[in-house]
Amino acid sequence: MQQTQRGYRWMSAGVLLMCLTAATAQEGARATQQATFTSQALHFAQQVDELNLNEVYDRYKLFVVLRCKDVPVEQRKTLAIRIITGDYPNKPNFQWREGKSGAFAAAIAVLSHLHMEDTSLIPFLEEYLPKWERVVAISEEPLPADLQRLKQRTAPNVQMARALLIRLKAVQAVPEVKSAADLERRLEVMLKEAQMTRQEFQQLCEEFVEGWRHRRGMDIPSRAVLANYLLEEYGRMLFHYAKSGMSLELAAKNADTSIVTRFWSARIEMGRLASQPAKLIEELLKQKGPALSYGQLLIDEGVQVVPLIMQRLEAIKNDRGQVSDTGMGLVTLLQVLVTLAGESALPYIEPFAQDERLWLCHYARQAKEWIHEGRVFGFYADW
């Protein structure tokens, strides 16, 4: 009897210990949820005119400011316009050495996302497209002073900007979207504006992909480049409406080629994931590669996802089996946390600096170093 009672006491002590451990974990989760984190994006937005955009890590900070919803929408729009009109950066004697084209592409991409249904950008694009065309044209005729300055201060991607204008005209023509069929009507307007048939559009998209696959983008015809940017612009619309909860299988299935179908289906899936940050984090952890597009979706959501990331890292630090065998999705998640939270990320990164996967250790230690050096990571800012 005494042995039985002693056994019960041990069992009771064990249960109590388990309850205390669970309670401690729950308290830690609640503490993380209740904690407030300073947005690095807002901090970078305050110092944006001091950034040296010839330094890659400062360009990454610029991309965070452009994309992150922590920064007010109008402030992001204004910054993007400044970039593509050559008004930013505006330091005296600043001269671009590298990164000029990336800044332009990131600015156009964010304007596309922020003007999904807002056509007010059309007059501006119609005014500047001829200027950008002259700036990039090969000609012996000297440019007037204003265009010469524009050429020095920015690197226009004319076809990317034209695709945005074409999509906005389609929004203007089909202002209300209630179903995937309305998006199909917008696509028809886009192709009409671009003077492409559906078949030609699909062929040009295939030609673009083949050009990248075999020639790394060299000598791709301009119409194929435009078709690719139209593909991306329509993909952003699919992303936007999928994120809002609209059923869009029809919009992807109506495409007739595998390249177009796969691309648009991926954008729809990204939209669905973006509407559920916790699920997005789970999907990221499963990835065997860096999955920078998933990382960008989390950056876009801003500091509100920081508690979710911290809770997930806390949960898996002693159970690495929840992570893909390569650990690269986890690496991207650590980099997102560094970029959004800065020094607050350190306690959550430290456990992963020791792991049998040496590359995971390397990236975790790199993340710690970058925090101390005030750096952030780059993701997929031009999609």
301's CB contacts (< 8 A; 6+ apart) are: 69, 274, 277
Whether 344 shows a pLDDT value over 70: the answer reads: yes
What's the confidence (pLDDT) of residue 55?
96
> Confidence class of residue 97 from pLDDT cuts 50, 70 and 90?
very high
The two tokens of residue 136 are 């990039």
What's the confidence (pLDDT) of residue 290?
87
Whether 13 shows a pLDDT value over 60: the answer reads: no
Instruction: Tell the residue number behind the tokens 């999928």, with chain if given.
Output: 242
The two tokens of residue 87 are 């008004």
SS (H, E, C) 8-44: HHHHHHHHHHHHHHHHHHHHHHHHHHHCCCCCHHHHH
pTM of the model: 0.89
The two tokens of residue 288 are 């065997």
> Confidence class of residue 356 from pLDDT cuts 50, 70 and 90?
confident
**Mean of per-residue pLDDT scores for the chain:** 89
On whether the CB atoms of residues 173 and 117 are closer than 8 A, the answer is no
> Confidence class of residue 378 from pLDDT cuts 50, 70 and 90?
very high
What's the confidence (pLDDT) of residue 131?
98
Angstrom distance (rounded) from CA 45 to CA 285: 29
Whether 253 shows a pLDDT value over 70: the answer reads: no
The two tokens of residue 323 are 């992570």
In the chain, count H helices and then E strands: 19, 0
On whether the CB atoms of residues 363 and 334 are closer than 8 A, the answer is yes
pLDDT per position as a tens digit, 144-153: 999 999 999 9
> Confidence class of residue 252 from pLDDT cuts 50, 70 and 90?
low
The two tokens of residue 182 are 């309305």
Instruction: Tell the residue number behind the tokens 């974990």, with chain if given.
Output: 25
Three-state DSSP class for residue 19: helix
pLDDT per position as a tens digit, 285-302: 999 888 999 999 999 999
Give the least confident one: 125-134, 285-294, 305-314, 357-366.
357-366
Q: Give the burial string for 197-207 (b: 16+ CB within 10 Å, else e).
A: eeeebbebbbb
pLDDT per position as a tens digit, 192-217: 999 999 999 999 999 999 998 887 77
The DSSP output letter for 323 is S
